[in-house]
Amino acid sequence: MLSLSKRNQNLTGWLFSLPAVIFLGGFFIFPMLYSLFISFFDWNLLGDKAFIGLSNYDFLLFKDSVFTTTLWNTVYFSLCYFFGSLILSLGTALIVQKALRGMRIIRTAILTPLVIPMAITGIIWTLLYSPSGFINTLLNMFGIEGQQWLYESSLAMPAIIVVSIWQTFGLYAIIFVTGLNQIPKDLYEGMDIDGAGGWKKFVHLTLPLLRPTTFFVVVLLVINSFKVFDQIWVMTQGGPGNATMTLVVYMYQKIFTSFGLATASSVALFIIVFCLVIFQYFIMGREDEKA
Amino acid sequence: MKSLSLQEERVKSETGTPKVKSMKSRKRLNISSYIAYLIIIPITLFAIFPFYIMVKSSLEPLDQIISSFNFFPENWFYFENYKKVFSEYPMARWFFNSTLVATMVVIGNIIFCPLVAYALARLKFRGRNLLFFLVLATLVIPIQVLVVPLYLMMAPLGLQNTYAAVIMPLLVSPFGVFLLRQAFLSVPKELEEAAIIDGCGRLRILFSVILPNTLPTLCTVAAINFMWTWGDFMWPSLVLTDEHMKTLPLGIASFQTTSSLVPWDLVISASVVAVSPIIILFLLLQKFFVKGLTEGSVKG
């Protein structure tokens, strides 16, 4: 009596879902498939499209040295961004979750970079990295010679990694704080009685219990690291040379010359992110279930 | 190593009874607090100092910005850069564009997301599980993967340089659907059943029973979507190429590409204009932002 009839729920359910089905279908699912379709064509802004099978993929993987560089750069960026963010945010979380004076304000402060547009982040940091900017001035104060940060191929990528970590580490730290707060305090008391030290508690209690949170952070980090674009586009546009050319920057540049190559590289991006997320699920998610 | 001993002290300070606490441990607690501050203060400065430099530089004339770095501007009330950027570029129009686009996206999300979220949480209909799976799948798809096909879809529709082109793909965020569904699941079923007995329709139940009980989550969805749209760059940069249709990040980024010598005085004061509203919003609605950003880890 209380619930509506089954048929009625079917109808209402679909009516309620209709806007989402239209928008998610039209602007997520369809473009995904369309993207795969286009990647089999030779097609640019002016010309007609011609079916060329896997030639776009063949070109990217085996013929285009820029794409190979791009993949290496993306891996380089991702690894540094991943571990840098993970260590900095977990370390920060362990401190800011303490019940000390001022920690609430600090939590707000470290989260603030996250809300500003990434393109603007790129602009601010370009100024900081400029030849007589803040960073070189700071280095000079310690007697270290300033650098042409964004104009030297060996320095540009590290410079961009720092910017990217700056923008998002607060987010991961706050997520870690949420996870740490969920660990029951009496578990630590138990270990206190056993006389365990800080390191032992961290390894045997904090880390294992933090696992679901770490899993979530790791997934976010992987997704965010492979889609890096805005700050690179604003700061270096992939240069100097191709030193900061990453997957999405490469794709963006190709939009204006070849839709086929652009979509083929975006399919590559999707496959990489998808595989890594699945892989993480099996490595980390599975063990959660066991525990 | 340092942070580990801190961890231990935190535990002691929160769980240890006064009886157990010896003089020695109290002393160590103080030291560990000092170490905590010693580590966290540089990290905090790292996070916020760039903002100070941005504001400070916007109050300096061009030659001073590029020639040398000073910690303080000579004149705290030097607003020429702001006047100049508003008169030389359509800043007011860009500001309007950004506000309009972000507001429309927020409105779309707070109308459409609750509808589908309610259906996913409370209605049993064929294909519900498939639909929920699709929502989860779209959560992990980076939008960068979709821009080329979206671009090719918009062009034949004549939607180049229209607000609609930027707004439409963002009207239903998978994130909003997911967050609201989780929140709706936690509303007691009894509330809803009482309303059904009174003869309320599902729509009425959603708006007068469910949503009033999950208002914080709705605010969260609004805040996060506003922030994302305000900062969105790649997709708008493809469809908004007309000078007067640009949003703030696009407009400001175009300063740099149009000339080899970057007009830093204008770029940086325009950046302050673009960043201020979102920071103010963040500070006012912090609770909702933090909730939105951390929710995934809580609810999994």
* Count of Cβ atoms closer than 10 Å to residue B48 Cβ: 15
**Beta strand A41-42 with A50-51: parallel, antiparallel or unpaired?**
antiparallel
Q: Is A155 on the interface with B (CB under 8 A)?
A: no
Specify the pLDDT at position B300.
Answer: 32
Cα angle value B180/A171/A200 (rounded, 5°): 110
| Chain B residues near residue A216 by CB distance under 8 angstroms | 296-297, 300
Specify the pLDDT at position B13.
Answer: 45
Asked if residue B157 has pLDDT above 50, the reply is yes
Establish, for the pair of chains A and B, how many residue pairs have beta carbons separated by less than 8 Å.
Answer: 317
Specify the pLDDT at position A287.
Answer: 54
Architecture of domain A64-290: Orthogonal Bundle (1.10)
Same domain, B134 and B16: no
Residue A91 CA from chain centroid, whole number: 19
DSSP secondary structure string for all residues of A16-41: HHHHHHHHHIIIIIHHHHHHHHHTTE
Asked if residue A32 has pLDDT above 50, the reply is yes
Q: Are B110 and B256 in contact (CB under 8 A)?
A: no
How is residue B11 written in tokens?
């535990």
Specify the pLDDT at position A5.
Answer: 62
**DSSP collapsed to 3 states, B55-123:** HHHHCCCHHHHHHCCCCCCCCCCCCHHHHHHHHHCCHHHHHHHHHHHHHHHHHHHHHHHHHHHHHHHHC
Identify the H or E element spanning A86. helix A65-96
How far is the alpha carbon of B206 from chain A, nearest alpha carbon, in Å?
Answer: 11
Q: Rounded CA gap, A92 and A211, in Å? A: 17
With an 8 Å Cβ cutoff, are B6 and A14 in contact?
no
Mean pLDDT of B125-129: 88
Mean pLDDT of A123-134: 90
Q: Supply the DSSP symbol for A238.
A: T
Half-sphere exposure of B200 (CA within 13 A, CB side): 16
Q: Is B130 on the interface with A (CB under 8 A)?
A: no
Specify the pLDDT at position A273.
Answer: 86
Q: Which of B13, B29, B104, B125 has the most A C-beta neighbours within 10 Å, making it the best mutation to test the interface with A? A: B125
B194 versus A155: which is more confidently predicted?
A155
With an 8 Å Cβ cutoff, are B113 and A115 in contact?
no
A276 Cβ contact list (under 8 Å, min separation 6): A222, A226
Q: Is B150 on the interface with A (CB under 8 A)?
A: yes
Q: Is B19 on the interface with A (CB under 8 A)?
A: no
Residues 192-231 of A with CB under 8 A from B: 192, 197-199, 201-202, 206, 212-213, 216-217, 219-220, 223, 226-227, 229-230
Query: Is residue B79 in some structural domain?
Result: no
Q: Are A158 and A80 in contact (CB under 8 A)?
A: yes
Q: B66 pairs with which residues across the strands? A: none
Residues 76-105 of B with CB under 8 A from A: none
With an 8 Å Cβ cutoff, are A255 and B238 in contact?
yes
Specify the pLDDT at position B162.
Answer: 92
- Residues B188-209 have pLDDT tens digits of 888 888 888 888 888 888 888 8
Question: Is B236 strand, coil or helix?
Answer: helix
Specify the pLDDT at position A163.
Answer: 95
Specify the pLDDT at position B259.
Answer: 54
Grade residue B29 by pLDDT with cuts at 50, 70 and 90. Answer: low
- In chain B, the number of structural domains is 2
Question: Is A273 strand, coil or helix?
Answer: helix
Q: Are B54 and B272 in contact (CB under 8 A)?
A: yes
* Count of Cβ atoms closer than 10 Å to residue B75 Cβ: 11
| Chain A residues near residue B14 by CB distance under 8 angstroms | 99, 185
Enclosing domain of residue B253? 84-299
Look over chain B and give the mean of its residue pLDDT values, rounded to a whole number: 83
Same domain, B37 and B141: no
Asked if residue A86 has pLDDT above 90, the reply is yes
The complex's ipTM? 0.86
| Chain B residues near residue A252 by CB distance under 8 angstroms | 147, 234
Specify the pLDDT at position B298.
Answer: 41
Specify the pLDDT at position B69.
Answer: 82
A250 Cβ contact list (under 8 Å, min separation 6): A66, A67, A70, A238, A265
Residue among A38, A136, A273 minimizing CB distance to B149: A38
Asked if residue A280 has pLDDT above 90, the reply is no
| Chain A residues near residue B34 by CB distance under 8 angstroms | none
For A97, nearest residue in chain B (alpha carbons): B10
Q: Highest mean pLDDT range out of A65-69, B97-101, B126-130, B264-268?
A: B97-101
Residue among B141, B147, B264 minimizing CB distance to A127: B264
Same domain, B8 and B150: no
Query: Is residue B258 in some structural domain?
Result: yes
For A30, nearest residue in chain B (alpha carbons): B149
Specify the pLDDT at position A4.
Answer: 52
For chain A, the domains span 64-290
Mean pLDDT of A224-236: 90
Q: Rounded CA gap, B102 and A115, in Å? A: 14
Residues 40-79 of A with CB under 8 A from B: none
Mean pLDDT of A215-227: 86
Asked if residue B5 has pLDDT above 80, the reply is no
Specify the pLDDT at position A285.
Answer: 63
What's at B74, amino acid-wise?
E
Q: Rounded CA gap, B108 and B103, in Å? A: 9
Burial label for B120, CB within 10 Å (0-12, 13-18, 19+), is: buried
Q: Rounded CA gap, B200 and B206, in Å? A: 10
Domain boundary among B58, B74, B99: B58
To the nearest 10 degrees (0 to 180), the angle between helices B215-231 and B174-185 is 170
Same domain, B35 and B143: no
Q: Is B72 on the interface with A (CB under 8 A)?
A: no
Of the listed ranges A64-73, A220-229, B252-261, the one predicted with least confidence: B252-261
Residues listed for chain A: 291
With an 8 Å Cβ cutoff, are B293 and A4 in contact?
no
A194-219 burial code (b ≥16 CB/10 A, e <16):
eebebeebbeebbeebbebbbbbbbb
- Residues B224-252 have pLDDT tens digits of 899 999 999 999 999 998 999 999 999 99
Q: Is B260 on the interface with A (CB under 8 A)?
A: no
Residues listed for chain B: 300
Q: Rounded CA gap, B293 and B224, in Å? A: 8
**First CA to last CA across chain A, in angstroms?**
42
**First CA to last CA across chain B, in angstroms?**
30
Burial label for B261, CB within 10 Å (0-12, 13-18, 19+), is: exposed
Asked if residue B3 has pLDDT above 50, the reply is no
Asked if residue A191 has pLDDT above 50, the reply is yes
Residue among A38, A133, A179 minimizing CB distance to B148: A38
Specify the pLDDT at position B6.
Answer: 41
Burial label for B222, CB within 10 Å (0-12, 13-18, 19+), is: buried
| Chain B residues near residue A92 by CB distance under 8 angstroms | 40, 43
Same domain, B209 and B282: yes
Same domain, B158 and B36: no
Specify the pLDDT at position A170.
Answer: 92
Specify the pLDDT at position A187.
Answer: 80
Query: Is residue B197 in some structural domain?
Result: yes
With an 8 Å Cβ cutoff, are A16 and B115 in contact?
yes
Same domain, B270 and B187: yes
Q: Rounded CA gap, A130 and A150, in Å? A: 8
Same domain, B268 and B128: yes
DSSP secondary structure string for all residues of A92-159: HHHHHTS--TTHHHHHHHHHHHHHS-HHHHHHHHHHHHSTTSHHHHHHHHTTPPP--GGGSHHHHHHH
Q: Are A254 and A262 in contact (CB under 8 A)?
A: yes
Specify the pLDDT at position A145.
Answer: 85
Cα angle value B77/B81/B86 (rounded, 5°): 120
| Chain A residues near residue B150 by CB distance under 8 angstroms | 27, 31
CATH number at residue B170: 1.10.3720.10
Q: Is A10 on the interface with B (CB under 8 A)?
A: yes
Asked if residue A291 has pLDDT above 70, the reply is no
- Residues A18-31 have pLDDT tens digits of 989 999 899 988 99
Query: Is residue B71 in some structural domain?
Result: no
Specify the pLDDT at position B166.
Answer: 93
B169 versus A53: which is more confidently predicted?
B169
Mean pLDDT of B117-130: 90
Same domain, B147 and B280: yes
- Residues B47-69 have pLDDT tens digits of 999 999 999 999 988 888 888 88
For B48, nearest residue in chain A (alpha carbons): A109
Grade residue B260 by pLDDT with cuts at 50, 70 and 90. Answer: low
